[in-house]
């Protein structure tokens, strides 16, 4: 498959390596800063992004750019009719808007807060753990994440997804709080805290804490390779699903739809 990479930073380079190792061809790399990108475009010129991708003959697109650019890229790329996998986070509150846009233009898009297979296993583990702990009100719940100091958004999309899984499986927490507390937290508030430091690829922990003990469930990424390979596999499945009719065009898909 010929793949277009929109965003050619650290993740883009790693995705390119993983894609080539799977036998795919990188048709074009598009970026506003990277000097080694095959198509360097002006910041904010999303039509230039679309032209570079269209002229490359790409059969699939992986977008890993920046939260400030992701919506512009999505709206420029979806009308091309080429399946798009989006790894950029920071646009959770606009998923419905993108879903509606995909339906209107017939574009097919897939996104995930985290493409790591291990993280998606973590979601399942958290679902079960929260259900198990639900009868024991003496255990409070919170979640924390840590990423490298170059990450643009906070909290991470993965942390917010973890929080959603917690809320979906407990009646004791109904509100997600991502800011610092200036007063005693309410029992129904789930605190999602973040740290940015160094070169940490990504660590996510869920705490079940009582006066007697603490239970911690942690996923710790060793490198970005798991995210990169997961994005490549997601694009493979998205394109194959559209071709064989298992997936419908004009929709926004998630990791659970493909795996």
Strands (E), 96-213: 109-111, 140-147, 175-177, 189-196, 203-209
Q: Please tell me which residue in 151, 165, 191, 204 is annotated as part of the active site.
A: 151
Strands 2-6 and 25-31: parallel
What SS3 state is found at 214? strand
Q: Please tell me which residue in 13, 40, 124, 147 is annotated as part of the active site.
A: 147
> For residues 14 and 192, what is the distance between their CA atoms, to the nearest angstrom?
29
Is 147 annotated in the active site?
yes
Is 115 annotated as ligand-binding?
A: yes
Is 227 annotated as ligand-binding?
A: no
CA distances for 102 relative to 45, 139, 223, 249, angstroms: 20, 42, 32, 8
Is 89 annotated as ligand-binding?
A: yes
Is 148 annotated as ligand-binding?
A: yes
Is 233 annotated as ligand-binding?
A: no
- Own/partner pairs for 147-150, CB < 8 Å, 24+ apart? 147/194, 147/195, 147/196, 147/200, 147/201, 147/202, 147/203, 148/196, 148/197, 148/198, 148/199, 148/200, 148/201, 149/196, 149/197, 149/198, 149/199
DSSP 146: E
Give φ, ψ of 6 to 5 degrees: -105, 110
Is 113 annotated as ligand-binding?
A: yes
Is 54 annotated as ligand-binding?
A: yes
Is 191 annotated in the active site?
no
Is 193 annotated as ligand-binding?
A: no
Is 157 annotated as ligand-binding?
A: yes
- Binding-site entries for (S)-2,3,4,5-tetrahydrodipicolinate: 148, 157-158
Residues annotated in the binding site for NADP(+), as ranges? 54
What residues are labeled active site? 147, 151
Question: Per the annotation, where are the binding residues for NAD(+)?
Answer: 87-89, 112-115
Binding residue numbers: 54, 87-89, 112-115, 148, 157-158
């Amino acid at each position: 498959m010929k793949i277009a990479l929109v965003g050619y930073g650290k993740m883009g380079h790693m995705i390119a390596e993983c894609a080539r190792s799977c036998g795919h061809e990188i048709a074009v790399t598009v970026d506003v800063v990277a000097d080694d990108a095959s198509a360097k475009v002006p910041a904010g010129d999303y039509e230039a992004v679309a032209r570079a991708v269209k002229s490359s003959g790409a059969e699939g697109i992986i977008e890993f750019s920046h939260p400030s650019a992701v919506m512009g890229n999505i709206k420029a790329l979806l009308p091309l009719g080429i399946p798009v996998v989006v790894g950029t986070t920071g646009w959770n509150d606009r998923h419905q808007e993108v879903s509606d846009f995909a339906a209107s233009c017939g574009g097919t898009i897939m996104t995930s807060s985290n493409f790591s297979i291990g993280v998606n296993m973590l979601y399942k583990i958290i679902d079960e753990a929260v259900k198990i702990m639900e009868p024991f009100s003496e255990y409070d719940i919170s979640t924390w994440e840590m990423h490298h100091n170059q990450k643009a958004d906070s909290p991470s999309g993965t942390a917010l997804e973890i929080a959603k899984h917690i809320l979906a499986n407990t009646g004791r927490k109904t509100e997600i709080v991502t800011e610092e507390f200036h007063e005693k937290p309410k029992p129904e508030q789930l605190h999602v805290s973040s740290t940015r430091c160094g070169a940490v690829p990504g660590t996510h922990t869920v705490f079940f804490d009582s006066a007697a003990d603490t239970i911690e469930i942690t996923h710790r990424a060793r490198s970005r390779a798991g995210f990169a390979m997961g994005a490549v596999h997601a694009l493979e499945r998205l394109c194959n699903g559209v071709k064989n009719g298992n997936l419908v065009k004009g929709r926004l898909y998630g990791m659970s739809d493909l795996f």
